[in-house]
Amino acid sequence: MAQVPWFSSLVIGFLRPYAFAMITGILVFQIPFLPTYLKSNYVFPLFINILVLLYYAYGSILRENSARRVTSLKDLVNPLLYINPLALLFHYFGVESRRHRTILLPLLTLDHRYVWFPIATYIIFFLIAAVITIASKGSKKK
């Protein structure tokens, strides 16, 4: 049977984002101190930020001919400046499906003992990205 190299690369390229999401989900959802029945609502910010960082790092390191190649740390954290405010807004009000199934609970309805974790995660990742962006702009001026 003849091998078809374009087919294997097509399948691998198609499954790559799903593999990153699954690996990141398995790693992130092993955090032991959060209640297990609502873990996805508390860990969602950490999951989305780590997923974006891993996927952009993969694209930078392993995809040498990519037009969107990440050439600096600023390029790597730049998507976090856009994702975190939008995700915080969606998480603050909650997300429901068309059939009114809750996908992401609003922050105000979460347990007050653990609500600090998603808020702190959004703020920390946003501030890290902002500081790196400002520092890289300052270093380019000199």
pLDDT of residue 99 exceeding 60, the answer is yes
| DSSP assigned state of 68 | T
Round to whole Å and give the CA distance between 1 and 67.
35
Between the CA atoms of 124, 126, 127 and 132, what dihedral angle is there, to the nearest 10 degrees? 120
pLDDT at 127: 95
Instruction: Domain of residue 84: give its range.
Output: 5-141
**Residue 75 is encoded by which pair of tokens?**
């390029």
Round to whole Å and give the CA distance between 105 and 119.
13
Which amino acid does the sequence have at 90?
A: F
Strands 102-104 and 95-96: antiparallel
% pLDDT > 90, the chain: 20
How many distinct structural domains can be found in the chain? 1
Give the tens place of pLDDT for each residue, 53-87: 888 877 776 665 656 666 778 888 888 999 999 99
pLDDT of residue 113 exceeding 70, the answer is yes
